[in-house]
Structure 1
């Protein structure tokens, strides 16, 4: 028998973190420091790009969207997580859970779209250098950025809207943070449309980004091999290799975590671990890999720091 709960009067319960009392304070400190590090790393990249005229180029303007996206994802998870660790309470209001799920999905889709746009930019720069200024003109760049965020907010907004109800049949979130699959399991009645659209969203964002990234880097590798320029080859392979590793790891962890919600035999512990790692690790590593490890950004950051010091 189904029991209906009002979202206005009922609290939801997230899965337990299973932390022993002795680990509560260290986990709280670790989570807080990790969140602070994410904000500092990503703000460093943002400010370095924003305050240096030399970095106002297509590659860095696209990169500018990545730390914005990473901070959104981290802010959706960490404040609620460290608060629940300290209070030892896993309850959350429906509205807070809905907003957390929305931001986490916006972060996931935004990451895939931004990495795809960055791959396309590198493809044009290396394979079509004479057309680069035309294809990546300010107007075209603006269109790319608008398309990224329009697709992100429109498709993810509709995804979450399909699961919004004023009455629900369960108050248990089957994950350590709120997401669309866990919200869908609260819905009373038939959820076939929600499930089909959720699978379509996964296929669309994963398929589109995979197609763009694989095509771009295949063309880049072919171009540098044909040109036989050892310096260009090593630089391109390094860039492609780093980008592909980050991209594939993010694809694997995020896709498996959401598909696992639809597979009853999937390990809940593995699902939770991969789901959390897709939100925790990219915001820490992305500013180091794409920001501070990029020579122009690193040089301009040092210059900016010295200029302020004077």
Structure 2
């Protein structure tokens, strides 16, 4: 018979079940991946902030993605590394910390979609209305897009978590290695019908809106490229849009793999590792993909390396 502890403020994380043989490879992989994510994304944020040549809408919007990647990784990975060093009985977390972690992880996932959507709008304007680009993508418009991307995510996730924290709790075990909304409302013995309905609606609207905006944007860009038959325009579209599309598809498939695995409880451990990869792969590849594609960023990094060589010589 299950033991019940009502509204306990101390919760226990199930954690990541790793065998002794694979403990060190997994731990080192997560540790170095996290260091790389922080180094690469902080580097992008600093470069965009410091260099005036990067004070362009595309890079200023991309900075939002880098900040969001830092948030998402730092919310989960450091705690995971610490808990891997602890025995299962000591993997404890306070209820308030758990709520904050759940809010941050859902905010990260949602903001990834909204930021990529406003970046798609920027690419659409740049290619389909190049002569009006400077008048449309003003500083005021950039602020509006940034606030809308973060604000919409904040409101949607805020409602999601507020529906959960209203519930009384009768369990203390978090099924997983970090806190999320589903893990929190599963601690309750009350009806979670409203939570499930809103969570499903939230997911459908987010992914439908995200995928729909991408399809619409890239369809219009494709039509413009085909009708104008301008080699310079087509080259610009291929260069800028391919980068954005690759980043979006990586994030989309990573997120959808977790949603699919949620429907199969037998693959709980596989879902844990899929979540780790969701936090590591896109967050690691985003700065690499944009850094390699951007001539401006490559030039800055090249100048920095040449300066270091001159100083060392």
**TM-score after normalising by structure 1:** 0.90
User: 1:243-273 deviations in whole A, cap 9, x for unaligned?
Assistant: 3233133223323424543x35663244333
User: 1:191-236 deviations in whole A, cap 9, x for unaligned?
Assistant: 1111111112112221222122211111112222222233432442
CA RMSD of aligned residues (A): 2.3
User: 1:177-198 deviations in whole A, cap 9, x for unaligned?
Assistant: 2211121211221111111111
Matched residue of 1:11: which SS? Answer: strand
State the alpha-carbon separation in 2 of the partners of residues 23 and 273 from structure 1: 13
User: 1:140-182 deviations in whole A, cap 9, x for unaligned?
Assistant: 1111111111111111122112111574122222223221112
Worse overlay, 23-32 or 131-140: 23-32
Q: Does 1:110 align with 2:111?
A: yes
Shift of 1:123: 0.4
Aligned to 2:152: 151
Shift of 1:283: 0.9
Matched residue of 2:12: which SS? Answer: strand
Assess if the C-alpha contact under 8 Å between 1:38 and 1:283 holds in 2: yes
Worse overlay, 228-237 or 185-194: 228-237
Assess if the C-alpha contact under 8 Å between 1:202 and 1:255 holds in 2: no
State the alpha-carbon separation in 1 of the partners of residues 272 and 31 from structure 2: 20
Taking the TM superposition and a 5 Å limit, the aligned residue runs for 1:42-121 are 42-89=41-88, 90-121=91-122
Unaligned runs of 5+ in 2: none
Question: 1:166/1:213 Cα in 2 relative to 1: closer, same or farther (>3 Å)?
Answer: closer
Aligned to 1:271: 271
Shift of 1:108: 0.6
State the alpha-carbon separation in 2 of the partners of residues 2 and 221 from structure 1: 60
Residue correspondences, number = 307
**TM-score after normalising by structure 2:** 0.89
Question: 1:275/1:32 Cα in 2 relative to 1: closer, same or farther (>3 Å)?
Answer: closer
